[in-house]
Chain A
Amino acid sequence: MRRPFLGVVVFTVALVLVFVWIGEVITRVSGEGERRSSVVITGGNITPEAGEAVFWGKGKCSTCHAVGSRGASIRGPNQGESGPLGMPIGARAEERARERARATGKPFTASDYLVESLVDPGAFVVQGYKNEMPNPMRPPIRLTLEEVKAVVLYLQSLGGNVDLAAIGLPAGVEAQAKAAAVVEEWTPYLPAVQGDRLGLRADPRHYSGGSVLHRYPQEGGRQYRGGSRQPGGGSQDSQSTDP
């Protein structure tokens, strides 16, 4: 019994070592082990380069968007020349701004369109794509105002005019950014379990079948993380996408 068991042990250890080796090789070829530069953006260094770092880093934009031949994501439109309309986003934004102006009846500049795409991504969704982009100013991404402006500058630099002064943020966005930036001190929750301890009683205020980042219809002027029940009793939980 000992000899066959020893053979099994050697075989098992060899398999595990191959697994470890694969992990090492992947890290080496993908470069994930390299230290990435973290950019701290302040009012003084809002630049396209800083925006590029956010786009490919903290902002996680590149998990959905490629830029030309850089990156491989296809979930969102390519922001380079191979994107919708065959134009890079900087140039495309001019065309989109005209569409938005017609649709809303308000003046729209290319920068306005780019800002809107970031802070209210569901306002205009390109044909053929889903309304699934989260607001990057909210958790878990939580871009600051400066970072948003830097990303807009980077997008402008892709075929458009780079103009920091043209970037105007809608009212309320500043407060939203400030609120999201604060890591709230959490205090233990206990008092809410009164009467219905297991919560078996229906409570129309909060519905558990939604998600933290979905866009849910407002109800009573408030939105709840985790979704909100729709008036008809159903839930809007159809924002799924495919892996």
Chain B
Amino acid sequence: MKPRGWLTIGGRKGWATAGLMVLGLLLLAPAVMAAGGEAAPADYRGFFGGDSRLIIWIVAQVHLMFGAFVLGVPIFASIVEVIGWRTGDPRYDRLAHEFTALLSAAFSTTAAFGGLLVFALIGLYPRFMAFLTSIFHSTYYVYSLLFFAEGFTLYLYYYGWDRMRGRWKGLHVLLGILLNMWGTILMLLANAWASYMMAPSGIDKETLRFVGTTWQAVANPLWIPLAIHRFIANIAFGGFIVGAYAAIKFLGARSEAARAHYDWMGYVGNFVGLAALIPLPFAGYYLGREVYSASPVMGNNMMGGAFSWGFIIQAVLIGILFIGGNYYLWAGMGRIGGAERYQPYIKYINVILLICFAIWLTPRNIPLTGEEQMALGGQFHPLLKYFGLMSAKNAAVNFIILSTFFSFLLYRRGNKGRTRSFDEHGLGAKIALALAAAISILVLWWYARNLLTLDPKSLDLSADRARYFSLPAYLLLGQIGMVLLTGVLTLRDRGKLAQALFFASTTVASVFVLGVYGFVIMEKANPFLRNLAVAQWLMVMVCLLWNTAIDVLLFRGAETVGGIRWGQMPARSQYALILLCVSIVMLMGLMGFIRSGLREDWHVYAVLQDTSEWAWTPTNAYMARVVGGIVLLFLGLVAFVFWLAGLGEKEEQEEVRAPT
């Protein structure tokens, strides 16, 4: 691949960057003109006499979306490169290179939007920016330096790809890791500013003045929860965008080889997206919990107030992501010889997913007219009211995750036949199995012990409520027993039975028993519900870990009953990938609105009030129109940038070789 001009004016990306800069100057022009006659500094400025908040909203969200892409893609590009390096399979290396090509194309656009956002904030919200700068100015310089570091590392990583093959490959892999490191620190810094606006720390309670230090402001209560949530979400976001890119390439491919390649690329994108999506609801739960901790007012407004309907839309979008991801996996089983054996299971998984999805999006409080309430016998439906509560939703999301994982396991064993005896795998396999068992047992034991020694006072509960902590603890201990039992079964060549048993015990304990028990807890010891949710989640995560370990070892060297016919996928499966991409972009737009909107009429929550004329909370209709516009703008820009990046690769595209 020939190196192309990066930020040179003649280069295509250079033109894209220059275009965005000009757009930025045009956006700033009214602010500059408005400031022309000012004798005193203004608190706010309008945008051509229009809505400044809307401008910031759009620019910030598009920047964030590009940022998520350029932070998420290098994570799995590096992993794919390492797989290619260690296995010696050149397909993985080419795929990682192709991911990085997309990354480099989007990088300059991200930077341009970042610059535009800063300029627009300075121009339109000078008072707020002065406040933020007064606390965080030292971090700005670090941020800029890190940006240089990330840019240079990316250039080296991308343009040095071909030169650093062979003995230099290890160094190239290291560059990939370095790129991720810079990106993560950059994200942490930017997150500090955003999370500080929600949960300011180091403020004197009486005077509302900042009396802390920069570090205290950075390490505010929401900093890490937001970082964890964004880190995982960025990977899912990058995965689904790459999946959509591959889908479009697949649909337009002229050769079988190109179709096979992009089919595989789409599969990897979907796998990455789904894998990151699985822990995401729990990272979101953790963030939500910390929002409550930071401010009960904000927390209650989130799920029970003005933004609660937004969470219903969120549930719909997440449901679409899981169902769409599963649909793509099932469609993919059509190209695997032997997978037809597992087709009968699909309909049951479908039913489970749809029921869980329905429970997840059922609101507790449905707006009803007086007549409807009379007909219903009250504000709540006698049965559906239970589905609106957190306990039902926790159970539903756990079941969705277990079902998705089950789908993936079916996909994996699609063309696998008779397995080998476990003894044939050698000592290494036994050690790996023992290690996975040890990790699983430690995690379960740790939390069971935590629950058994939990002081009810720490949850504002009386001592007699401690009896409600026992059941989840014993179930966790029971799962330890199941790990040992299924481990023995695996060693005795009953691995499939072991997997089924562990799936069953996890589903019964985490979804059904604790799901129903959650209602008891809500009534008798409500604050304990958070611990119960953690217990459920840990059971599910251990199930994923332990079953994956068994699966990998079980099917190592297994008989192959059919090949994978890459490229033989129906067009509708590619539209599933597009659906996933559009859904996650909409989801990011929606959650960006909610996270930012939670502050209501405060720039910095409860410290610096927004006294501008735009300090009102938008309705969901307004939000949907703006977010919809942002989604189209972002996807349009992504398509344009990828098109620019791909112009020079036309010839290479035809040479793409199919995976075997």
Which A residues form the contact surface with B (CB < 8 A)? 1, 4-5, 7-8, 11-13, 15-17, 19-24, 26-33, 60, 63-64, 69-75, 125, 127-134, 138-141, 179, 183-184, 186, 188-190, 192-193, 196-201, 203, 205-214, 222-227, 237-243
Contacts and interface: CB of A to CB of B under 8 A. Distances in A.
B600 A189 contact: no
Interface of B: 127, 130-131, 134-135, 138, 199-217, 219-221, 247-248, 251-252, 285, 288-306, 309, 312-313, 316, 364-365, 367, 373, 378-380, 388, 390, 458-462, 522, 524-527, 529-530, 533, 571, 575, 578-579, 582-583, 586, 600, 602, 605-609, 611, 619-625, 627-628, 631-632, 635
A209 B134 contact: no
B201 A193 contact: no
B202 A140 contact: no
B606 A139 contact: yes
Contacts of B300: 60, 63-64, 73, 75
Given A31-B367, A198-B215, A212-B295, A240 B251 contact: no
* B247, B304, B367, B627: most-surrounded residue (chain A CB, <10 A): B304
Contacts of A189: 131, 134-135, 209-210
A224 B623 contact: no
Contacts, number: 284
Given A12-B582, A225-B203, A226-B200, A208 B220 contact: yes
B297 A213 contact: yes
Contacts of A134: 295-297
Contacts of B309: 26, 30, 32
Contact of A128 (B220, B299, B526, B619): B526
Contacts of B583: 15
Contacts of B208: 139, 184, 225
Contacts of A209: 201, 219, 221
6 contacts: A63-B305, A139-B208, A186-B131, A206-B202, A208-B219, A212-B200
Contacts of A196: 213
Contacts of B579: 11, 15
A197 B214 contact: yes
A165 B642 CA distance: 71
Contact of A129 (B289, B526, B600): B526
Nearest to B291: A243
Contacts of A211: 199, 221, 293-295
A128 B210 contact: no
Given A133-B296, A240-B293, A27 B302 contact: no
A238 B215 contact: no
A151 B302 CA distance: 23
Contacts of B291: 243
Contacts of A207: 201, 216
Given A141-B297, A200-B215, A242-B292, 10 more contacts: A23-B623, A23-B628, A69-B373, A140-B606, A183-B609, A196-B213, A198-B138, A199-B216, A241-B527, A242-B390
Contacts of A31: 367
Contact of A5 (B252, B303, B388, B606): B252
A69 B378 contact: yes
